[in-house]
Amino acid sequence: MWRVKICRRQYNRLPKPLILIQQKLADLKRAIFKKLDRTNLPRPRKTAPFSRKDVQKRYQATTLPITISMLSNQKPTSRTQNPDNWLLEVIKQLNHTAIEQNEVITRTNSSLCVLCRGTRFLCGKTRCPVMVKVNTFLKSVPLMSSQDISGMSPPSVFIGRIGYPQVYIGPLVPPIHEDTGIYDLPEQWFGKSIDEIVGFRSMLIRGKHLINVNKINQTNKILDQTRELALADNSVDTELNLTKKPQGSITLSDDVQPFGPSAPIRNLRVGNARYNDKIEKAYYDTDLRATNAVVELYNKGVMVSKIQKAFSVGAFGVEKKRRLVPTRWSITAVDDIISKSLVDKVKTFSEINEYQVYESIYLDNIFEILLIPAQWSYESIEAWYPGTAWNPNGTHTAIYSDWETNNGRTTYAAIGGCYYSARLAVCERLQKERRQATAIVLREAHPGYIMPIGVWQVRENVRNAMNQQPYKFKNLAQSLQFIANRFEIPLQRWIQQSELLKRALFQRRISDFFTPNTTE
């Protein structure tokens, strides 16, 4: 019997996965030689035993993700080399020039996309997110025909986070000469379909310029003009000259938001921008701390999205400490700063005297917000069905949560930016009513929510719920029964996941032992 030999000392030093690979290789050789014996073919010449480096190389070769080859920047050359060429065939049928002029990147998390091809809905979604991205990509193909882009910026800018502190910054410009303010104004997106929202974002051509986030005080024309756009109040006439034609891509991944085409900036010209006077005042106040600037602007009625843009370009804070903040980080930071200031006010108000439930349904997301008569505490719970944006390949509903007591929290919430967006919306209502309560935000995301479109959706959904008339109940049992009738997930699972619900149900307060004196 042919055996693969390796000394005991080497064998003991191998990690367990390497040992398993070595054993599999040995079993494979035995099977091959048995086949050779039956066919009377000559055996191969016996070679030296495998060394540890040989086994490591084989282990690494067998464990490389398949997606690496799919993420290369080269076009697939033939159907046999890339099983995802079904997408190329679809695009060719709709617009053959899109393949000739632009690069298409394909990426799949499983083989379901190859089997489904956007028709069988094997992933469990009600619509194919890949085909939504394809249709949007084809609409943006005419935008990629020139290196010179002229149009009205919403205004909009984007600060990247890859490579931090060296990041790409630049404006977002659609080749449209009319008011494009809605293209980057999430406060006005509520009620629109996913196709409309993706269409807004995909029409914006992104210019890229590499810069260090800490060197914003150095002379840099592109940075200065990008900041002008971020501080502007209305659409601004912008001319964007690129080093090459902008390129778009289609990424077959459920967790990547669609983007418009992009290219490095050669030159940038911004027309006369009218600043928001409140933001401009905070920008020139170089002794005002960033946190105070954000809160003051919010209290003066400036929209959250406009504060976030100015925050990202380093427009606030003490002059020597100002720096660029990636767009994704700035959104969460502003939500957190504003909601914390609102929480401090809410804690000073008296408690509500009844149980209240607020409700909102949008993009196949069901939000139920429960307010309990108690001192301020907050919890956010999200349930994602299989086939939804953040549970694409799951077989069971995934539930995540995070919470805080009256003392607040000092660590980043496990469920991400949605936690802070929902907290902001809830506190806005409580401040308006001048009341405090224990707030529990329950979210059930169904397969109709086919792709992530940003945390703004949570903020505006909860805002919509809190603007409605609440359902009022005398006790916790009635309110929970109402919520149970709205959700498909059993109430018991919500209670098991929720820390604050378990406290409300099973932990008694001192006040519960006192009964009001009815005698005069």
Alpha-carbon span 170 to 173, nearest angstrom = 10
What's the domain range around 380? Answer: 346-511
pLDDT at 104: 44
Q: 10 Å Cβ neighbour count for 451?
A: 23
Query: How does residue 450 score in pLDDT terms, banded at 50, 70 and 90?
Result: confident
Alpha-carbon span 490 to 304, nearest angstrom = 35
Max mean pLDDT range (11-15, 56-60, 78-82, 320-324)? 320-324
Q: Flag whether 93 is in a domain.
A: no
Strand partners, 207: 263
The residue among 256, 274, 292 that closes a domain is 274
Q: Flag whether 506 is in a domain.
A: yes
Strand partners, 351: 436
pTM: 0.76
- Tens of pLDDT, residue by residue over 50-88, are 444 443 444 344 333 323 233 333 333 333 344 445 555
Query: How does residue 447 score in pLDDT terms, banded at 50, 70 and 90?
Result: confident
408 and 454, same domain (yes or no): yes
pLDDT at 355: 97
Q: Flag whether 23 is in a domain.
A: yes
Selected residue with higher pLDDT from 46 and 304: 304
Q: Flag whether 292 is in a domain.
A: no
Residue 103: pLDDT over 70: no
Residue 90: pLDDT over 80: no
Q: What are the Cα distances from residue 305, in Å, to 41, 187, 301, 341, 499? A: 73, 8, 12, 17, 32
- Tens of pLDDT, residue by residue over 239-262, are 999 999 887 765 544 334 556 788
Query: How does residue 386 score in pLDDT terms, banded at 50, 70 and 90?
Result: confident
pLDDT at 451: 79
Average pLDDT score over residue span 141-162: 86
- Tens of pLDDT, residue by residue over 198-247, are 888 888 889 999 999 998 888 789 999 999 999 999 999 999 999 998 87
Whether the CB-CB separation of 343 and 322 falls below 8 Å is answered with no
Query: How does residue 101 score in pLDDT terms, banded at 50, 70 and 90?
Result: very low
Number of domains in the chain: 3
233 and 149, same domain (yes or no): yes
Whether the CB-CB separation of 214 and 323 falls below 8 Å is answered with yes
Whether the CB-CB separation of 265 and 209 falls below 8 Å is answered with yes
Query: How does residue 492 score in pLDDT terms, banded at 50, 70 and 90?
Result: very high
- Tens of pLDDT, residue by residue over 181-193, are 999 999 999 999 9
265 and 374, same domain (yes or no): no
362 and 213, same domain (yes or no): no
Alpha-carbon span 358 to 40, nearest angstrom = 78
Looking up tokens 């005991």, which residue turns up? Answer: 8
56 and 109, same domain (yes or no): no
Residue 393: pLDDT over 50: yes
Please report the beta strands in 256-340, taking only residues with DSSP state E, as ranges in sequence order: 262-270
pLDDT at 194: 86
pLDDT at 444: 94
Radius of gyration of the chain from Cα atoms?
A: 28
Query: How does residue 390 score in pLDDT terms, banded at 50, 70 and 90?
Result: low
Q: Flag whether 321 is in a domain.
A: no
HSE-up (13 A, CA, CB side) for residue 451: 21
502 and 373, same domain (yes or no): yes
41 and 125, same domain (yes or no): no
pLDDT at 105: 44
Report the candidate in 126, 186, 132 with the shortest Cα–Cα distance to residue 461: 186
The residue among 248, 274, 300 that closes a domain is 274
List own/partner pairs for 78-87 with CB under 8 A and 24 or more apart: 82/106, 83/111, 83/114, 84/108, 84/113, 84/114, 84/252, 86/114, 86/117, 87/130, 87/134, 87/250, 87/252
47 and 105, same domain (yes or no): no
Alpha-carbon span 408 to 346, nearest angstrom = 13
39 and 109, same domain (yes or no): no
For the chain, give the mean pLDDT.
79
pLDDT at 182: 92
Query: How does residue 508 score in pLDDT terms, banded at 50, 70 and 90?
Result: confident
The residue among 227, 255, 274 that closes a domain is 274
Q: Flag whether 320 is in a domain.
A: no
pLDDT at 385: 84
Q: Flag whether 109 is in a domain.
A: yes
The H or E element containing residue 167 is strand 166-173
Residue 278: pLDDT over 80: yes
Residue 13: pLDDT over 90: no
Q: Flag whether 289 is in a domain.
A: no
pLDDT at 353: 94
Give the pairing type, strands 355-362 and 365-372. Answer: antiparallel
Q: What are the Cα distances from residue 190, in Å, to 135, 203, 417, 459, 467? A: 22, 19, 18, 10, 13
256 and 141, same domain (yes or no): yes
Query: How does residue 467 score in pLDDT terms, banded at 50, 70 and 90?
Result: very high
pLDDT at 514: 65
232 and 118, same domain (yes or no): yes
Residue 292: pLDDT over 70: yes
Query: How does residue 448 score in pLDDT terms, banded at 50, 70 and 90?
Result: confident
**70 alpha carbon, distance to own chain's centre:** 22
405 and 471, same domain (yes or no): yes
Tell me the three state secondary structure of residue 367. Answer: strand
